[in-house]
Amino acid sequence: MTAHLPRRPSILIVDDSPGVRQTMEFLLAPHLPVRVADSGQAALAALTPDTALVLTDVRMPGMDGVELARTLRRTHPHLPVVFMTGVVEDDLRAEARELGVLDVLRKPLRPGVLFPALQEWLADSAATLPAAPPADTDTGPARPTPATPTPVVANAAVSNAVVSTPTALTAPPAPRTPDPDPEQSGARRAAQTAQAQMFTAGLNVLPGVTASCAFDPAGVPLTPTPLDAEVGAYVRFLATAAQGVAHHLQAAAPVRAVQLEFQDRVLVVCPVPFGYVAVVVRDTPGASSVKSWMRARLSHGLN
């Protein structure tokens, strides 16, 4: 008689935002089975005997994350639950404690925070999560990941994505360790921020540009931005997805830009030495001008 192999524990991601679900699945699927649900009701239907953790958004239409956690306490009292939300309030933390929720994480979730936390939460299961996200590398192709999702944006078309074999953008950055020289680290960050500010200042005067922002490699803004707080995570995901497609296209040049065209605006994402730049323009001619300007600056250096 053939022995059955033990099934691997899975994590259930619950969020009404397609981008958040895809980003989380992209980060976690290489390490353990991931299921996704777009609502509290769908999450209850998606539970399996292998579900080891539920990571749920708080604010969702219909059954929100709090009500989902309250229901799970009755139906699955030993199933760990974690909240994620854009605004962490004291009242929410208090309610989470009453419900036995493990933690309340602020969105967008950073790999350097998420991976160590998941390692702790799933310590008693057979999950194979690394203690930290894999470090970036600049040589050799990245290891393939199963079912890498592509960005889904309502009423949008993806174009002008010039991609390459996967490089440093294909893996989450390693968590930052304390710098032995805080003053030197602060000086580097200040120089990086000043460089980003000068770069975006030039973009903001181009015709058709309505908003721009620079982000570091983790998706944290380096410059003030009128864009939503979660944009940085999506910008990083778009650049990473483009790098992943490169392997299948056998493209040789690095990613130069990723462009999303909506009905009333265009988003251009460009990888730069200090991270990423995201620019919103009114039309495709404006997007072409932006990409030409950025490529000229990058080819001659940022200064």
14-53 residue pLDDT tens? 998 887 888 788 788 878 889 999 999 999 999 999 999 9
Cα 287 vs. chain centroid, distance in angstroms?
Answer: 24
> CA 81 → CA 58, 222, 235, distances in Å?
11, 32, 28
Residue indicated by tokens 């059954």: 63
pLDDT at 264 > cutoff 90: no
pLDDT at 101 > cutoff 70: yes
The whole-number average pLDDT for the span 76-91 is: 89
pLDDT at 2 > cutoff 70: no
What mean pLDDT, rounded, does the chain reach?
A: 76
Handedness of CA 93, 96, 101, 105 (dihedral sign): negative
The whole-number average pLDDT for the span 71-88 is: 91
The whole-number average pLDDT for the span 264-290 is: 90
Q: Which residue has the higher pLDDT, 254 or 90?
A: 90
Helix axes 90-99, 65-75, angle to 10 degrees: 10
Task: State if pTM tops 0.85.
Answer: no
As a whole number of angstroms, the longest Cα–Cα distance in the chain is: 72
Q: Which residue has the higher pLDDT, 57 or 140?
A: 57
Instruction: Name the range with the highest mean pLDDT among 80-84, 117-121, 210-214.
Output: 80-84
| Contact criterion met (CB below 8 Å) for 129 and 122 | yes
First and final CA of the chain: distance in angstroms? 69
pLDDT digits (tens, 9 = 90+) for 187-225: 777 877 888 888 888 888 888 999 888 888 878 888 887
pLDDT of residue 73: 94
Handedness of CA 51, 52, 58, 64 (dihedral sign): positive
User: Domains of the chain, with CATH numbers?
Assistant: 10-121 (3.40.50.2300), 157-299 (3.30.450.30)
